[in-house]
Each structure stands twice: as structure tokens, then as C-alpha cells.
């Protein structure tokens, strides 16, 4: 078990391209930390610098109480699970699992016992005599995890380990890996994890905490509930949550209360928003409303956004309404049992946001200027 500390970490590729801009991050002993962000945000580069597979241009990586910048991967106390599993194709599963311990010249009985234990934990005992090409994607993934686990690393590194699996298998592997993490932690075994993914669902469902990255910078580090409810900027707000948060351009009109002009339509807010908003008359803002926080307005509610329904997606227990409002497209998620197509006349719809859940961002900096003080 070990804590991982990253201090002012930088990566410059070639002579000029700065991929990682001096990031700092602490991963606590036993914590499951997810690095998430869109393609190219440098999450793999960061992970590979931790692993020792990429040179560090500046800053420090510490594992436990050791600075590991100049140590080769094999001496850092890490194990890595790769996207393509990287199993040795000519070796049976048993030997793939045991390989790391054989390299370390561990005694044969210890290798056999560890192989049996790891195969048991991952339920791959019946596969031990097979070659990798005789495994399904999910089975191969479990062998890859087993191969990392058997080395009893101080820190596990995962690089998009589920991206080659279909959606159903991905969902079950998410649960398997988080269960395994909890079990190892409960048994006092190594369980500090850094897990890279571009998939916000994976991040939200697996991470104790999540580090959201963009263009080689950290945008926010927080637990899933905080990230969802208190995004510090428009990027995090738009990246976390499904369907994506609606981000609409508006202008503040301070008229005693607060009105935000959205594409020419005034939407008024009361104290549930104004009490926490730091903005003044004329400020250019981005209004963030999650699709789940929009509902079809009551007939007598005149504080609503009016638009036309461009597209309806029936998802089972929910309906996604894609609505055009004066050139802006937004999505509203309505529970199926509260959706009646007869309420929509000539594709015309009126939507009202849940005020307590609306976020306002400074349009220039993207900063959330509507966060209430922390409790």
C-alpha cells in the first residue's frame, strides 16, 4: 500500500510541444483515482510518466516515500494493465500469470500458490491451461488484471482497460474491478489505483475521486457527487453527466431579481439562484442546466423557455426531448410516465428549469460564479 504524489509534473514532447503543464495530484493510500478527459488531454502521458514508460520533463513522482523519477518501471512498485491486455500470445494463462514472479525468481511453491489465489479471486481457474487466443475479451481482461495483481504492487495503473469490450461486458467489468479493489483494501492488500479513461460513466461509477483533465491541465479533482453538483467550471459541468449539461449563452439583467436573456427570451430567477450568484448587470454568462433539471412548464407558468421539439428519443423509463430555442439546441429528460405527446401542440413546447440546480458560468473564464459556500 502506498500514497502517490505528483508535484508540478511536466512533459514536453520533442523540443516544443508541452503535453503536461505542471500538474500536482495526491492519491491517498488505498484510493481509487480516475484520470478522465477527452482524447489528447494527456491522461495516458501522465500515467506513463508514473509508470516510468515515458521520461519526465519536470517535476516529481513519489510512490510511498521514494522519489521514483529516475527508477526503471520494474523498480517503482507499480503494475500496469493495458488497453490491449498485452498478454504473451505463446504462453498459457497460467504462465502469463506467473511470469512476473518467475522473473523475480520467486520459489516455485510460492508461484503456484499465488497463481492459484489470483485465479480464484478473478474466477479464471478453468482457463489456466488455455492460450490467450482461446479467451474472450472479458476473460483476457481478467487475466491481464490477474497478471498485475500477482505482483502485489504498491500502485495499480490502468490505461483504458475496458475500451475494447462491448457495452454490456464493460458494465460488468466495472463492477468486478471496483469489487476487487474493495476486497483487496478490506484484506489490507495493495489497492492504490490510478485508472485512465475517457468515459465519464466509468469515471463516475468507479472512482473514489476523479481528476478531470483538459489540454494537459487539471480542471478539478473531487468525488463523483461533488463533481456532479459543484462543477468548478463549464468544462467539468459539460463533461460530467449524461446526457450532457445544456450550456446556453446569456446576458445578466439585474432588475431587482435576476433575469438572464437567453437568445432573446428572458428567464427570471429568484433567490435560489440570486443568493449564490456573483454577477452584475450586462455580464456575459453561460447558463448550465442539466437535461434532468428541465421539465415541461405548467400552462400558467409564464417564466419558461419556448421552443420547438426537433426530435424525441424514447429510452424506456425516460424520454429525451431535443428542443430548438431560437437557434440553440437543448435536451430535456422527462420521465416517461410524465410525458404525454398530446401536451405538445404543433411541436411547440415550453420548458422550465429547476432553479436550485442551475449553474451560471463566466463566459470568458468558464468559472462557476454560482457556487454556494461549502457547508
Return residues touching ligand ATP (CB under 6 A): 13, 17, 19, 37, 39-45, 198
Do the beta carbons of residue 231 and residue 42 sit within 8 Å? Answer: no
8 vs 75 by CB, closer to ligand ATP: 8
Task: Assess whether the previous peptide bond of 275 is cis (omega < 30° from 0).
Answer: no
- We find the least distance from the C-beta atom of residue 1 to ligand ATP, in angstroms, to be 27
Q: Give, in degrees to the nearest 5, the angle at Cα 245 between 240 and 250.
A: 135
212 vs 294 by CB, closer to ligand ATP: 212
Question: How many whole angstroms separate alpha carbon 354 and alpha carbon 12?
Answer: 45
Question: How many whole angstroms separate alpha carbon 202 and alpha carbon 34?
Answer: 9
Do the beta carbons of residue 27 and residue 192 sit within 8 Å? Answer: yes
- Rg over CA atoms, the chain: 25
194 vs 289 by CB, closer to ligand ATP: 194
56 vs 277 by CB, closer to ligand ATP: 56
In a 13 Å sphere around the CA of 175, the CA atoms on its Cβ side amount to 5
- We find the least distance from the C-beta atom of residue 56 to ligand ATP, in angstroms, to be 14
DSSP code for 172: H
- We find the least distance from the C-beta atom of residue 83 to ligand ATP, in angstroms, to be 9
Three-state secondary-structure class, residue 80: strand
212 vs 252 by CB, closer to ligand ATP: 212
- HEC states along 214-241? ECCEEEEEECHHHHHHCCCEHHHHHHCC
35 vs 296 by CB, closer to ligand ATP: 35
- Chain residue at closest Cβ approach to ligand ATP: 44
Do the beta carbons of residue 277 and residue 360 sit within 8 Å? Answer: yes
84 vs 364 by CB, closer to ligand ATP: 84
Element housing 98 (H / E): helix 93-103
Do the beta carbons of residue 2 and residue 192 sit within 8 Å? Answer: yes
Do the beta carbons of residue 304 and residue 351 sit within 8 Å? Answer: yes
- We find the least distance from the C-beta atom of residue 13 to ligand ATP, in angstroms, to be 3
- Which residues, at least 6 apart from 332, have a Cβ–Cβ distance to it below 8 Å? 291, 294, 295, 296, 320, 321, 323, 351
17 vs 264 by CB, closer to ligand ATP: 17
In a 13 Å sphere around the CA of 215, the CA atoms on its Cβ side amount to 2
Do the beta carbons of residue 87 and residue 95 sit within 8 Å? Answer: no
- We find the least distance from the C-beta atom of residue 81 to ligand ATP, in angstroms, to be 15
What region does 44 belong to: left with phi over 0, alpha with psi -120 to 50, or beta?
Answer: alpha
- We find the least distance from the C-beta atom of residue 196 to ligand ATP, in angstroms, to be 7
- We find the least distance from the C-beta atom of residue 64 to ligand ATP, in angstroms, to be 25
- We find the least distance from the C-beta atom of residue 40 to ligand ATP, in angstroms, to be 4
- We find the least distance from the C-beta atom of residue 213 to ligand ATP, in angstroms, to be 7
43 vs 151 by CB, closer to ligand ATP: 43
42 vs 101 by CB, closer to ligand ATP: 42
- We find the least distance from the C-beta atom of residue 370 to ligand ATP, in angstroms, to be 29
Amino acid at each position: 500500500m502506498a500514497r502517490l504524489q505528483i508535484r508540478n509534473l511536466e512533459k514536453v514532447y520533442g523540443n516544443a510541444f508541452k503535453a503536461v503543464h505542471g500538474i500536482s495530484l495526491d492519491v491517498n493510500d488505498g484510493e481509487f483515482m480516475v484520470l478522465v478527459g477527452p482524447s489528447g488531454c494527456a491522461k495516458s502521458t501522465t500515467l506513463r510518466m508514473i509508470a516510468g514508460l515515458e521520461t519526465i520533463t519536470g517535476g516529481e513522482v513519489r510512490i510511498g516515500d521514494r522519489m521514483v523519477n529516475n527508477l526503471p518501471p520494474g523498480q517503482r512498485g507499480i503494475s500496469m494493465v493495458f488497453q490491449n491486455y498485452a498478454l504473451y500470445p505463446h504462453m498459457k494463462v497460467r504462465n502469463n500469470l506467473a511470469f512476473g514472479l518467475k522473473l523475480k525468481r520467486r520459489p516455485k511453491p510460492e508461484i503456484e500458490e499465488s497463481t492459484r489465489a489470483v485465479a480464484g479471486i478473478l474466477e479464471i481457474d478453468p482457463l489456466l491451461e488455455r492460450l490467450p487466443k482461446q479467451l474472450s475479451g472479458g476473460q483476457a481482461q481478467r487475466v491481464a488484471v490477474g497478471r498485475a495483481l500477482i505482483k502485489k504492487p504498491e500502485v495499480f495503473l490502468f490505461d483504458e482497460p475496458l475500451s475494447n469490450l462491448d457495452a454490456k461486458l464493460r458494465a460488468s467489468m466495472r463492477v468486478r474491478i471496483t469489487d476487487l479493489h474493495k476486497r483487496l483494501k478490506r484484506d489490507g492488500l495493495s489497492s492504490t489505483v490510478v485508472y485512465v479513461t475517457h468515459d465519464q460513466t466509468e469515471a463516475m461509477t468507479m472512482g473514489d475521486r476523479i481528476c478531470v483533465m483538459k489540454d494537459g491541465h487539471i480542471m478539478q479533482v473531487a468525488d463523483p457527487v461533488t463533481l456532479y453538483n459543484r462543477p468548478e467550471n463549464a468544462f467539468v459541468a459539460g463533461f460530467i453527466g449524461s446526457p450532457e449539461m445544456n450550456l446556453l449563452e446569456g446576458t445578466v439583467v439585474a432588475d431587482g431579481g435576476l433575469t438572464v436573456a437567453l437568445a432573446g427570451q428572458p428567464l427570471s430567477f429568484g433567490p435560489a439562484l440570486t443568493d449564490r450568484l456573483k454577477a452584475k448587470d450586462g455580464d456575459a454568462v453561460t447558463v448550465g442546466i442539466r437535461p434532468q433539471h428541465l421539465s415541461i412548464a405548467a400552462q400558467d407558468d409564464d417564466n419558461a423557455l419556448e421552443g420547438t421539439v426537433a426530435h424525441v428519443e424514447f429510452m424506456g423509463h425516460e424520454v429525451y426531448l431535443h428542443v430548438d430555442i431560437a437557434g440553440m439546441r437543448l435536451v430535456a429528460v422527462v420521465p416517461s410516465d410524465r410525458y404525454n405527446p398530446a401536451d405538445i401542440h404543433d411541436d411547440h413546447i415550453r420548458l422550465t428549469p429547476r432553479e436550485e440546480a442551475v449553474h451560471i458560468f463566466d463566459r470568458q473564464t468558464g468559472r462557476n460564479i454560482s457556487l454556494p459556500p461549502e457547508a
